[in-house]
Structure 1
């Protein structure tokens, strides 16, 4: 069962910036949540100082996979599982969604109903724009579910889907589209150089009415075997959709389309790496368009290992945040920076609503070769200031006690109501 304790204030020790303090009951506009294993920790955010202060922790019934706030910012929905990532991972037998109330002054969470069992390991979850439905994607077997959100914010029953849905291979994200009349699901497939089994990636679109989905289109080049999309985000004012293509380290831009959800052909395709010719295996990561729509950010991740004197060490590659400026007339992105992430495997990140701060979270520590020595780069939370030109300035990193078994698998920013 969920640990029903409320947040404990952790004012001694933990993460804090020197010279920065918050009154215990002070109004907090932005908070940052970090999920390590089954523990979800709340941090106050000081945008001006690019600093976090640890406030407390609640526990989930299994390892946190993803979380999403209600549009009202009064509730947070967290999905968890004891299953592992990838086709070679453990399927697990405990999968849940949980609703929490968000304290509007502090961001503290309190359970709001019991855990809702899910059919398999959830990889992503989101809430539709009306706040009436929880959308959840599952990677293996690839699929999605829709659950009602009750008027009080608690989770309700699953919505039956009368039609067989095209859910592709290895779903990785599901979101309502800006009109809230369609849903889009990114299915990554498995088509990177060493993937086994190998199968196609695709972007699936569905009509959406009263929680019921129907197939609209499947968007992918050719047979999808050279297309491994991971996540996407929408421009806040223009009909442009920005897609992080994981397996090929690309940024693809599509246009919203009334018939198919998005255009069948991309408007632009851009490289995300500082050295696209590198033969080291890389993987593009999560993506967010900045609040004013002038820039788009995504991570490049490298986390594979090689042998060194009988031990496994980092094989090399780029762990960075790629920054693109967006042409406000055409939507074309131009790469302007690859900012060092100062940690390994930046799986999630958040941008504060003013667009002045980017906070990125790495999954696990990494043994790294330094000459003839091996050092371990800890998992962490990396803080960046965002300049007026969109570029990132690294400020500090907070080390996090994560392991390969207890990963910092999700983290994100929430603005309080």
Structure 2
């Protein structure tokens, strides 16, 4: 599998969020299915682990924020001594689910915001759980729970598992599966998270707590990752993390790790590609385009593969889904679940930097996107503190 020079390949051999999750799980006794995280973490003797996930905080975005003076708290934490990648695609559905399960996208099956589901014979939005073309609800979503959550496995081993997440997410199908086994601590405003997190650390029992901040990602999508609004939100997040650290007991029993699921890249309006029209979708494709605007999954009609490739080749790197799957783009091939392979279609188009593939089912253009394999999207920070 040949990737272009600008592509950052997910480092499932020890330098990705998959390996980070596997190592944190292994610390609390969960059998690991993947290589250990290769960078040192002060885990020895830690009874409590707190994992903070700031959605869309790419390593480059954090570096720029520290240079601006916007993130003094994050600057005070110990950075990992080497690059860390997201998974592919570099999107929340794939990467946050990996952090919840310590499994690669090719194992847990959440391979993008929308995927082809053989079980439904449709391209389905995995958040809203409906056919993206007809909006018909998915009748049965039970089959989507392909692997156990980290939290269930920890709780079965006597470790108290917690998630501190927005109240709006508490009852979704994805949350009920991915956070199975964890006590859910909902919040209305992120300023509530310090007190909620501190309450999860009890002296008599080892614990694992994931704290999730989604707002930075939402603002980057709506205003752009380099916007004043995004900078202000990151300053707010930094203050909240400072309060969270101050709220935790300082007896040396707790390891705090901060990371992101992916980064964000700025997207100009003229970089959107309108190659997949309704006519093309109806005549040359077997159903809607799936995946992400920065990582599209297509199912060409027989005899139309060359036509689709010609439309997209000027704007994107094209590779067959078989090559991407067996080449380890979605996770180590030895662990990939072959039943999930159809979800990424037959042809994968990863737009060149600055481009995005719009389709008839796309939302309005956004000034911030992710999902592809540029450094802005793929490289994430890992910071830690033992307190």
TM-score norm. by structure 2 comes to 0.29
> Whose helix fraction is larger, Structure 1's or Structure 2's?
2
TM-score norm. by structure 1 comes to 0.27
